[in-house]
Amino acid sequence: AQKITQTQPGMFVQEKEAVTLDCTYDTSDPSYGLFWYKQPSSGEMIFLIYQGSYDQQNATEGRYSLNFQKARKSANLVISASQLGDSAMYFCAMREGRAGYSTLTFGKGTMLLVSP
Amino acid sequence: SAVISQKPSRDICQRGTSLTIQCQVDSQVTMMFWYRQQPGQSLTLIATANQGSEATYESGFVIDKFPISRPNLTFSTLTVSNMSPEDSSIYLCSVADRPNSPLHFGNGTRLTVT
C-alpha cells in the first residue's frame, strides 16, 4: 500500500481564492512527521510546512496551513489568498519513527495552477 | 537552514557515458540523501550517505550504477554510470541539518541521456 496518497493530479484556482490540496497517509508508527513541499517548474524543492504526529495544533506558516486530521490520517494543505506564483507542483511527504535523520517518503504530487 | 549547491544544474549526455553530480553544503551535516525524480513522477530515494562509511542504497539501486562518495561533512558526489535514456531524470541532493528537521534540497541536476 502507498504510504502517501495524493488523489488530485491537478487543481485549478483563481487568484486570491483559497485552495485545499489533499494528502492521506498510512503508517502504524505512532511517531511520524508530515511535510509539504513546493516544486516550481525550475525544479527546486521548497519546504513549506511541517506537522508532527503529537502536535496538538494544526501547523501554520504565513498563507499555508495544514489541516491535520489524525483519526482520518489526512494532512491537507490549505493555501489562502492564492497568488500566481503559487502555480507549481506540491508534494506531501512523511517521515516515520523517532529516528532523527530518517528519510522522507513522497506522494505523487498535485499540480496547482493559479489563474488571474 | 543549510544552503546546498548542486552542480551541474543540467546536462545532456550520450548513452554509455557517466556523469558525476556534486553537492556542496555550507555547513556540516551528518546525513545526505540522493533522490531521483523521473519525468512527471515523484521523488524516489536512491541512497543515504554518511561521512566515513559506505552509502546505504534503496531497493532497486546499486552501487555499481550509482556510486556515491562522502569524503567529509559538507560534500558528496553521485555518479550515474553507463547511462541509458532511462536515466533521464532530475537528481536531487538533500540534507537534514539537525535531527527531525525538514529535508532541504539542492536545486537539482536535470539530466537528459540521448
A53, three cell numbers = 504526529
Contact B103 A44 (CB under 8 A): no
CB atoms within 10 A of CB B81: 16
Q: Does B100 touch chain A (CB under 8 A)?
A: yes
> Which of B43, B96, B108 is facing A101, going by the closest CB pair?
B96
Q: What is the pLDDT of residues B32-83, one digit of tens each?
A: 999 999 998 999 999 999 887 889 999 999 999 999 999 999 999 999 999 9
Q: What is the mean pLDDT of chain B?
A: 93
Q: Are A21 and A86 in contact (CB under 8 A)?
A: no
pLDDT at A99: 62
Residue B51 burial (C-beta neighbours within 10 Å; 0-12, 13-18, 19+): middle
Closest CB from B1, B48, B107 relative to A103: B48
- Residue pLDDT, tens place only, A8-46: 999 999 999 999 999 999 999 999 999 999 999 988 899
Nearest residue of chain A to residue B96 (CA atoms): A101
Q: Give the bridge partners for A51, in sequence order.
A: A34
A33 → chain B, closest CA residue: B100
